[in-house]
A = this chain, B = another copy of it.
Amino acid sequence: MPDIPETPNRTIADVREAQDLLFFGYRDFTGAADVILTELGLGRAHHRALHFIGRTPGLPVSELLAVLRITKQSLARVLSELVARDYVAQVQGHTDRRQRLLRLTANGLALERRLFVRQRDRLANAYAQAGPVAVDGFRAVMRAIMDDSARDYIDGAARQDER
């Protein structure tokens, strides 16, 4: 069947390559912050929590759970540690007082900043090397790979950044 326009072989190689790209890219990008995390006795789970709390200050626990897609218990361990170490503050919700709205403390902001800088350096290099057109393509592909709900979340967070 040589008359099929989209050859299976090409697709196969594309997918294999994409698996590699995502594996190595994700590994090395997230790994950039590991030095600091290890030094502080924290893990990537802590970093993820810090990131999303820093990104959306005042978000309730339930929303963080939905974003991370882990169970309440998994988050509780990480979160209680971050609160105990004064990286994260919980304040009671105003409209719904059952909620604990999460935000970074000054301490947490400083740590998140340190972690951020490591990843920024790697990313800034990559973006500069690849060029703005490639960056747009990168965005488009990553957005198309993820679930709709994740895309919506990113768009919501971007709107908040503009304020």
> Which listed residue (B24, B116, B144, B153) contacts A150, Cβ 8 A?
B24
Give the bracket for the number of chain A residues in contact with chain B: 35 or more
Q: Does A96 contact B (CB under 8 A)?
A: no
Q: Per-residue CB proximity of A95-129 to B under 8 Å, as 1/0?
A: 00000000000000000000010011011111101
Measured between C-beta atoms, what is the minimum distance from A163 to chain B in Å? 12
Copy total for this chain: 2
Q: Does A14 contact B (CB under 8 A)?
A: yes
Is there contact, CB below 8 Å, between A126 and B154?
no
Bound Cα distance from A13 to B127, whole angstroms = 13
Binding site for B on A (CB under 8 A): 11-30, 48, 51, 55, 69, 116, 119-120, 122-127, 129-131, 133-147, 150-151, 153-154, 157-158, 161
